[in-house]
Amino acid sequence: MAGLLTLFFTLNAAAAPLTLTFAWPQNVGPLNPHLYTPNQMFAQSMVYEPLVKYDAKGGVTPWLAQRWTISADGKTYLFTLRHNVRFSNNEPFTAQAVVANFQAILANRSRHAWLELANRIDSVEAVDEDHVKLHLKSAYYPTLQELALPRPFRFIAPSQFVAGGTRNGIKQPIGTGPWILKESQLGESDLFVRNPHYWGTEPTYQQIRVKVIPDPVSRAMALESGDVDLLYGIDGVVLPDTFERLKQQGQYHIRLSSPMQTEMIAINSQHPPLNDLAVRQAINRAVDKQTLVATLLHHTEQPAATLFARNVPYANFPLSPYHYDPSAAAQQLEQAGWHLEKGQQWRTRQGQPLTLSLAYIGTDAVSKSLAEVIQGNLRHLGINLQLIAEEESSIYARQRNGQFDLIFNQSWGPPYDPHAFLSSMRAPSHADYQAQKGLPDKKIIDQEISQVLSSQNDSERQTLYKDILTRLHQDAIYLPLTYVPIMLIANRSLADFEFPPLSSDIPFEQMKPRSDVSP
């Protein structure tokens, strides 16, 4: 009997699929590769693949395209596709499928206008089964980097189009990637299984279960109880104090990546008194980032000195930071006519108090804490900072219409930084445009952004990026707070793996149990 029971449990263990359970705040969505929210980027990247992949050095490597050539004028790209790639329903991946997907994307071009490549594409043609030619209206140096993005330039089987395209939805999320979305339970979980037709290396795990756990405290509890194996992401994975507690326990595999994005405050130069450079510079000198990072964030992020960290392409040059110096900030305000009269709490100029507002998402506990620390720092300087906590949709509306003094903002990370993030500064619907609109050199900044995006000369691009970033820094239009890494917290049973170069990607196909790793 004992032998039969042992055999029974052994057979059942062998039959059970090797599953990794991961926690995420919401369901992955319908996974239309060419649309945005509620589709989750990490899941889109599990199912759909690009022609080229972004690498850690800021360049690209072959993927669905084995190689490519670029015309001398930078306007034509000829891609040679990888042979014998099939979609997960066994449909062939061909040049015609690539063209159909590009046409579906361009049929909804206005939705993708934030991405400059979508505006630059003139046409796409299938030369033959294995070759695709991409024609641009004008040269655009980040073309390959934007083709590597998680969306929209990825490929779904054309048989899954609705009414000949994807703008109105898809039938099923059928891609060429290593994973297939097998089932979704709204508010509960999503299940991915291996793609049996995948052209690349087969993942070790047979299934990835994504449990929907909106609250960061509950996600940590699920890890500790063993309900999930992995917590991973760029923003709000767990609260900073929870991260520190789990780290001190020593029971989990915990890592932070190099800086991926910049958390910052955008300062609206259109609104008095923020149209005064002295006020913007004083704010930059008034916030104690070192203490903020140590006490509030528990060193899960790094203090930021500039708009981009030095590991961002074209940002590796020195800029003199605005060091924390309340005395210098106070002196600067005094010289600008903002006096703190004896017995008064707030500075005034010509009878007007120095009163500002900072808007943030009210349900974001970390943003609330950051806002309160900044409020306290500015109070010591005699600046009355009023906090406005609103719903996420209201904050995004303020970013679009410029109805803010100060507002939380974040760079986009690789491969968007610096080119795509700077490109968006020319779009009125972005907080960056609204914040910069009152700058005397806004026109020059926008002209140089347009120029750098079309430049075919790397030395010229370096010069232009340096001038753009120097102007923004000297204009003190941003208060850089922290450089944000990817956070990883996992069971000890999960083997180590490399962080991907895109913060939105989660490399499930590289993950394996620790027992599978040679000692």
Question: For residue 445, is it left (φ>0), alpha (ψ between -120 and 50) or beta?
Answer: alpha
Q: What are the residue ranges of CATH 3.10.105.10 in the chain? A: 261-484
Cis? peptide before 38, omega within 30° of 0: yes
pLDDT band with cut points at 50, 70 and 90 for residue 15: low
All residues at 6 or more sequence positions from 12 whose CB lies less than 8 Å from its CB, including other chains: none
∠ CA 42-59-130 to the nearest 5 degrees?
A: 80
- What's the average model confidence in pLDDT over 291-304? 95
Under DSSP, the state recorded for 326 is: H
For 271-291, what is the mean pLDDT?
97
Apex 98 CA angle, 93 and 102, nearest 5: 155
Helices (H), 265-364: 277-286, 289-291, 326-335
Instruction: Write out the residue limits of the CATH 3.40.190.10 domain(s) in the chain.
Output: 49-170, 179-257+486-516
**Interval 43-56: pLDDT, tens:** 999 999 999 999 98
- Tell me what the mean pLDDT of segment 48-77 comes to: 95
In CATH, the number for domain 49-170 is 3.40.190.10
Longest CA pairwise span in the chain (Å): 93
Residue 106 pLDDT: 97
261-484: CATH number: 3.10.105.10
User: Residue 408's closest CA among 436, 354, 363, 370?
Assistant: 370
Tell me the mean pLDDT in the region 153-176: 97
- Cα 449 to Cα 308: distance, rounded to the nearest angstrom: 16
**How many Å apart are CA 247 and CA 245, to the nearest integer?**
5
Classify residue 476 by burial, with Cβ atoms within 10 Å: 0-12, 13-18, 19+: buried
Alpha carbon separation from 482 to 302, 379, 380, 486 (Å, rounded): 5, 21, 21, 13
From the CB of residue 355, how many other CB atoms can be counted at a distance below 10 Å?
14
Q: Which residues pair with 77 in a beta bridge?
A: 70, 134
For residues 223-246, give the mean pLDDT.
Answer: 95
Mapping DSSP onto H, E and C, the string for 383-410 reads CEEEEEEECHHHHHHHHHHCCCCEEEEE
Residue 326 tokens, joined: 């309340």
CB 445 within 8 A of CB 425: yes
Please give the average per-residue pLDDT across 84-113, as a whole number.
96
Cα gap 512→490, rounded to integer Å: 12
pLDDT, average across residues 427-441: 94
Name the 3-class secondary structure at 179. strand
* Closest CA relative to residue 271, chosen from 437, 444, 429: 437
Question: In whole angstroms, what is the distance from residue 244 CA to residue 228 CA?
Answer: 19
pLDDT greater than 90 at residue 8: no
- CATH, domain range 179-257+486-516: 3.40.190.10
Q: How confident is the model at residue 448 (pLDDT cuts 50, 70, 90)?
A: very high
pLDDT at 5 (0 to 100): 42
Torsion of CA 407, 412, 417, 422, to 10 degrees: -40
Query: What's the CA gap between 406 and 265, in Å, rounded?
Result: 6
Whether 488 and 256 have beta carbons less than 8 Å apart is answered as yes
Report the 3 state secondary structure along 27-78: CCCCCCCCCCCCCCHHHHHHHCCCCEEECCCCCEEECCEEEEEECCCCCEEE
- Averaged pLDDT for residues 209-224: 96
Task: Please report the pLDDT score of residue 498 as a whole number.
Answer: 92
Q: What share of the chain is helix, strand, coil (3-state, %, to 5)?
A: 35, 25, 45
Percentage of the chain lying above the pLDDT 70 cut: 96
Fill in the amino acid letter for 294: A
Confidence of residue 133 (pLDDT cuts 50, 70, 90): very high
User: In this predicted model, what pLDDT tens digit does every residue of 377-419 receive, in sequence order?
Assistant: 999 999 999 999 999 899 999 999 999 999 999 999 999 999 9
User: Mean of the per-residue pLDDT values for the chain?
Assistant: 94
pLDDT at 255: 95
Pairing of strands 384-390, 189-194: unpaired
Looking at residue 519, what is its pLDDT? Answer: 37
Report the half-sphere exposure of 309 (CA within 13 A, side-chain side).
22
* pLDDT at site 236: 86
Average of per-residue pLDDT across 440-457: 96
CB atoms within 10 A of CB 277: 17
pLDDT of residue 3: 52
At 516, phi and psi to the nearest 5?
-85, -5
* Measured distance CA(329)–CA(403) in Å, rounded: 26
Dihedral angle computed from the Cα positions of residues 464, 468, 469 and 471, in that order, rounded to the nearest 10 degrees: 130
- pLDDT computed for residue 437 by the predictor: 96
pLDDT at 494: 94
Q: pLDDT grade, residue 353 (50/70/90)?
A: very high
Segment 52-81 shows an average pLDDT of 95
pTM of the model: 0.90
Q: pLDDT at residue 517 above 60? A: no
Asked if pLDDT for residue 516 goes beyond 60, the answer is: no
Structure confidence at residue 1 (pLDDT) = 46
Give the tens place of pLDDT for each residue, 310-343: 999 999 999 999 999 999 999 999 999 999 999 8
